[in-house]
A and B are shown apart, each in its own frame.
Chain A
Amino acid sequence: MNNITYFKDQFEQLQEANPNDTIADLRQNGFDAFTKDGVPTYRDEDWKYTNVSSLFDKEYLIAENSTITLADVNTIRLPGYKQANELVFVNGRFIANLSTIRSGTTDLVVLPLEEAAKGEYKEIVAAHLNQSSNYLNDGIHALNTSFINGGVFVHVLKGKEPEHPVYCYHILDARQNPALAQPRSLVLADENSRLQITESYTTLGASDSFNNQVMEVVVKENAYVEYYKIQNDTANASQVSSTHIRQIGRSYVHTVTITLNGGIVRNNMNLVLDAAGNETHLYGLYLLKGKSHADNHTLIDNLKPNCFSNQLYKGIADDTSTAVFNGRIMVQPDAQKTNAYQSNKNILLSENATINTKPQLEIFADDVKCSHGCTIGQLDEEAMFYLRARGIPKESAEVLLLQAFAADIVDQIKPEPLRSYVSKLIYEHLAIQ
């Protein structure tokens, strides 16, 4: 792996340039771990089906400056943006002057992570930043931690329900060189608050991009969080996207992950249910064509009693694509009366596509209700014949049935502008043969 020297070099420069940074120690620990563990290979059970080491064969550039302008941002805004707080990340760094914060600071605070780590949020950042490493303890995660720089801290204040949702646009500038981005964010939904957050990803240019992202979300008592991830990037855009959500007070979380286009995509969706009575809903949809590879790893760690979680992930694999679903549910000894449900449904459209699905339940309490199920099938031939017998051509009939298959996940996107947008993306994605 010829990047190691480059990373080391870049890491040292970063540390030297920020001698008073309170995050420096965290970065050092991260880099030590990365040096020790390296990039995971298929020999690691968690990475058995997803070969990220191949992503490190390229000469990435961790770009200092980018020439991305507001005009570029204008081309990638999501519907509903006029009402949204828009956070723009270029090559992994939060760029304040391209971003638009519409909510007032009494509702929502958005700060560069390094700044938050020093000032009044010092203790909060110290308490919550990098809690994810307790769960994501591999070299990829450590690499992100080594390069925490230009991250963002988002805080919805106690009792506030900002009317403007948060949109995060991740732009990777691969117009000159392969681009590596390692965005890091810490989000805090305080007591009795409400937050809706959406992330999207765009690679500009024809070179490869690799987005190694970590977002940590802390959800406190009686907060309500909706999280949407929309992955529809180019075929040369790969990512490891880790979302680590800790519900530390009795709260409600609803997440939807949509994966349409991309190179190698790995999503880690972790929910740590660290308060009694938490409720969590996880939905995912992957519609893969070409050589796309999407790997959804979910983890629900039930630490306290009376939590409820429901997961439904659905996917389609066509051409030579590969889909992976690994759904892990842990029920710890204290987590009595846990209700945890999981379902993964797949349609295999091509003889050369692959689907790997694995439910993984680890239960250490004796009074729980857990269920899991997974299916892999083909399109319903009777339904196909019915549609064709009404004059609908085979290709359109297929699109109709696949849209129908996707519909119950799309319906889980609650804001209407995003739901219609995703619905349209899916139609276009499926209709191109």
Chain B
Amino acid sequence: MLSVKNIHANIDGREILKGINLDIKPGEVHAIMGPNGSGKSTLASVLAGREEYEVTEGAVSFLGKDLLELSTEDRAREGLFLAFQYPVEIPGVSTTNFIKAAVNEKRKYLGQEPLDAVAFLKMMKEKMALVEIDQRLLSRSINEGFSGGEKKRNEVFQMAMLEPKLAIMDETDSGLDIDALRIVANGINKLRSPDRAILLITHYQRLLDYIQPDYVHVLYNGRIVKSGTKELALELEEKGYDFITDEVDLAANQ
């Protein structure tokens, strides 16, 4: 589904990603962990098409297409979803209208008829129940005045509505208390399916207590330095990142 080959990326001339390789198949859940500044969010941004990042080397294919050639909106309409670490507040744009526009833009792109008001409302109701989000939030402006937990829940709700092939969750657990974390994680779990892949980007292991990944990768200094199964996450939790990063730094200095 997603194949990342030797991606190098810069921002303001500074190299952040220094050769990332990653293969994700349908139905798989991958977790990318790593200390602050290792390039986790940069990877998410590059995949979603943030224009400030310049890809200097490498290739990304998504469902057989050259992802890097697609505009941000076309990536989304092809089925890539980014749950933001910091969802943006947009006063004056109602959440419902926004999601309706997004759903129908995707349908248009796929050659489908737009959803009528009744069908859209029905879909909203189903997905609202799925991710436990209150209708009142959706009648407000996008994320305006939402708590941290509400913003993240809104991200998962949008994911449910857009039914992506690949969802990238950028630090979806950050800033959440334990109850909010549980609700958000439950939402994500309900959206797992054999044809949908999920890429979890997180600093902490605790999210992985709720969402069990198939693979765990450790990103450090712009490279994936170790990959394994979910046991790797537990080992990180126990020993901290140092046990890997020291090893890597030592190798680099020799």
User: Is the beta-carbon distance between B98 and A383 smaller than 8 angstroms?
Assistant: no
Contact of B102 among A391, A404, A408 (CB under 8 A): A391
Contact with A along B125-138 (1 / 0, CB 8 A): 00000000000000
Known A400-B98, A403-B92; contact A385-B72, beta-carbon cutoff 8 A: yes
Annotate B89-128 by CB proximity to A: 1 below 8 A, 0 otherwise: 0111100001101100110010000000000000000000
* Docked-complex contact B109 and A385, CB < 8 angstroms: no
Q: Is A392's CB under 8 angstroms from B88's CB?
A: no
Among A392, A400, A405, A407, find the residue whose CB has the most chain B CB atoms closer than 10 A: A392
Whether the pair B50, A393 counts as a contact (CB closer than 8 A) is no
How near does chain A come to B159, taking the closest CB pair, in angstroms?
10
A408 touches B92 (CB 8 A): yes
A386/B90 contact (C-beta < 8 A), A391-B106, A392-B102, A394-B73 known = yes
The reply on A396 being an interface residue by CB < 8 A is: yes
Cα distance A127–B69 in the bound complex, in angstroms? 72
Pick the residue among A382, A389, A403 that contacts B76 (CB under 8 A). A389
Q: Which residues of A contact B51 (CB under 8 A)?
A: 385
Task: List the A residue with the shortest CB-CB distance to B143.
Answer: A386
| A340 nearest CB across to chain B (Å) | 25
Q: Do the beta carbons of A385 and B50 come within 8 Å of each other?
A: yes
| A401 at the B interface (CB under 8 A) | yes
Closest residue of A by beta carbon distance from B45: A385
Question: Is residue B215 within 8 Å, beta carbon to beta carbon, of the partner chain?
Answer: no
Q: Which residues from chain B contact A385 at a C-beta distance below 8 Å?
A: 50-51, 72, 88
Distance to closest chain A CB from B61 (angstroms) = 19
What are the residues of chain A within 8 A of B101 when measuring CB–CB?
Answer: 392, 396, 400
CA distance A390 to B142 in the complex (A): 13
| Other-chain contact of A391, B50, B77, B91, B92 (Cβ < 8 Å) | B77
Which residues on the A side are within 8 Å of B109 (C-beta)? Answer: 391
Contact bitstring A365-403, B, C-beta under 8 A = 1, else 0: 000000000000000101101111111111011001101
**A interface secondary structure, majority:** helix
Which residues of B142-160 have CB atoms within 8 Å of chain A's CB atoms? 142, 158
Residue tally, chain A, CB below 8 Å to B: 22
Pick from B72, B88, B98, B102: contact of A382, CB under 8 Å: B88
Contact B98 A389 (CB under 8 A): no
Contact B162 A386 (CB under 8 A): no
Could you tell me if B90 and A390 are in contact, using CB atoms closer than 8 angstroms? no
Which B-chain residue is minimally distant from A408 (CB atoms)?
Answer: B92
Scan A204-217; emit 1 where CB is below 8 A from any B CB, else 0. 00000000000000
**Residue contact B162 to A391, C-beta cutoff 8 Å:** yes
In angstroms, Cα B143 to Cα A383, docked, is: 11
**Is the beta-carbon distance between A388 and B92 smaller than 8 angstroms?**
no
Known: A396-B105, A400-B93. Contact between A388 and B73, CB under 8 A?
yes
Cβ of B48 < 8 Å from any Cβ of A? yes
Instruction: Using known A-B contacts A385-B50, A401-B93, A404-B93, determine if residue A390 contacts B98 with beta carbons closer than 8 Å.
Output: yes
* Closest partner residue, chain B, to A385 (CB atom): B50
A392 to B84, CA, bound (A): 16
Q: A412 to chain B: closest CB distance in Å?
A: 13
Neighbour of A383 across the interface among B49, B76, B77, B88, CB < 8 A: B88
Whole-angstrom CA separation of A382 from B92 in the bound complex: 15
Within 8 A of B (CB), among A265-318: none
**Residue of A389, A400, A401, A405 with most partner-chain B CB within 10 A:** A389
Most chain B beta-carbon neighbours within 10 Å: one of A391, A396, A405: A391
User: B75 to chain A: which residues have CB within 8 Å?
Assistant: 389
**Contact between B49 and A389 (Cβ–Cβ < 8 Å)?**
yes
Within B43-70, which residues are at the interface with A (CB < 8 Å)?
48-51
B76 lies within 8 A of A390 (CB): yes
Docked Cα-Cα span, A9 to B75, in Å, equals 68
Question: How far in angstroms is the closest Cβ of chain B from A395?
Answer: 10
Report A177 CB to chain B, min CB distance, Å. 44
B98: A residues at CB distance < 8 A: 387, 390, 392, 400
Q: Do B92 and A386 touch across chains, with their CB atoms under 8 A apart?
A: no
Say yes or no: A390 contacts B88, CB within 8 Å. Answer: no
B92 near A390: Cβ-Cβ < 8 Å: no
Asked whether any CB of chain A lies closer than 8 Å to the CB of B189, the reply is no
Complex: A106 Cα to B106 Cα, angstroms = 59
Q: Using CB atoms and an 8 Å cutoff, list the residues of chain A in contact with chain B.
A: 380, 382-383, 385-394, 396-397, 400-401, 403-405, 407-408
User: Lowest 3 CB-CB distances: which A-B pairs, in order?
Assistant: A404-B92, A391-B76, A390-B102
What 8 additional pairs, Cβ within 8 angstroms, besides A392-B101, A403-B92?
A383-B90, A389-B48, A389-B73, A389-B75, A391-B76, A393-B105, A397-B73, A404-B91
